[in-house]
Amino acid sequence: MVSFKSYYFFQASIVIVLLFMIMHMTPSFARLHMNKVSNKENQVINDICSKTTNPSNCLRLLKSISGTSTADLKGIAKIVLDLARSNATKTLDLINTLIPKTHDFRLKEGYRTCSEVYDNATDEINNAKSDFIQGDYSGMNEQASGAMTEAVTCDNETQGLPIDPSVRKGNQDLQNLCEIILVIANLLKGSN
């Protein structure tokens, strides 16, 4: 006859063994599942970045942006368009604060040109987002290309001048973001 104590000891042992198995199997399963998901998610980012002029820079940028690792192509497009708009707006605001503080005539003129082209760039990025929402990926491409050209123009107009490094960085960041938008627009055009 089985004693009452040994019966509960037996049940407790089974529970402990089951808990042990669950605790050790679940993380393995979760890691396995996460690796499959991560590879799939990273594939979208890899597809985009492989088509840019600087894939490693693109990968570093996209992987650092919250939400891109779980987003599909359209999700990444929205995120990058919003980031490009934010970048252009912040750079424009910075340029506009530098103009009255600058006493060097050539630099002041360079900043004024940058202000004009960044005003255009913010409009073009807004238009690119509207085109994206409407499914006009060719229009999205054209608008992003225009915004990219505006950043290049600001760079060219201030070449050799003691421009604020944050403006130079804003130009480079906008060019990189616009290049990613161009690639995404072309991928979206190809998927239709």
Kindly tell me the sign of the dihedral angle through the C-alpha atoms of 64, 78, 175, 122: negative
Cβ neighbours for 92, distance < 8 A, ≥ 6 positions apart: 115, 118, 119, 121, 122
Q: What is the DSSP string of 168-192?
A: HHHHHHHHHHHHHHHHHHHHHHHH-
In a domain, 12, yes or no: no
Domain encompassing residue 111: 55-191
99 in Cβ contact with 115 (< 8 Å) = yes
In a domain, 184, yes or no: yes
Confidence at residue 182, expressed as pLDDT on a 0 to 100 scale: 96
Confidence at residue 86, expressed as pLDDT on a 0 to 100 scale: 96
| Residue 157, both tokens | 């107009």
In a domain, 63, yes or no: yes
In a domain, 1, yes or no: no
Please, what is the Cα angle at 116 between 115 and 122, to 5 degrees? 85
Cα R_g (the chain), whole angstroms: 26
pTM of this prediction? Answer: 0.76
In a domain, 8, yes or no: no
Structural domain tally of the chain? Answer: 1
Tens-digit pLDDT profile for residues 84-121? 999 999 999 999 999 999 999 999 999 999 999 999 99
Confidence at residue 77, expressed as pLDDT on a 0 to 100 scale: 94
Please, what is the Cα angle at 10 between 29 and 15, to 5 degrees? 25
Question: Residue range 71-88: average pLDDT?
Answer: 94
The domain that holds 113 is classified in CATH as 1.20.140.40
DSSP 15: H
Alpha carbons 68 and 79: distance in angstroms, whole number: 7
Instruction: Report residue 41 CA to chain centroid gap.
Output: 14
Cα atoms in the 13 Å half-sphere on the side-chain side of 50? 7
In a domain, 110, yes or no: yes
Residue 11 has pLDDT above 70, yes or no: no
In a domain, 144, yes or no: yes
| Residue 184, both tokens | 């995404």
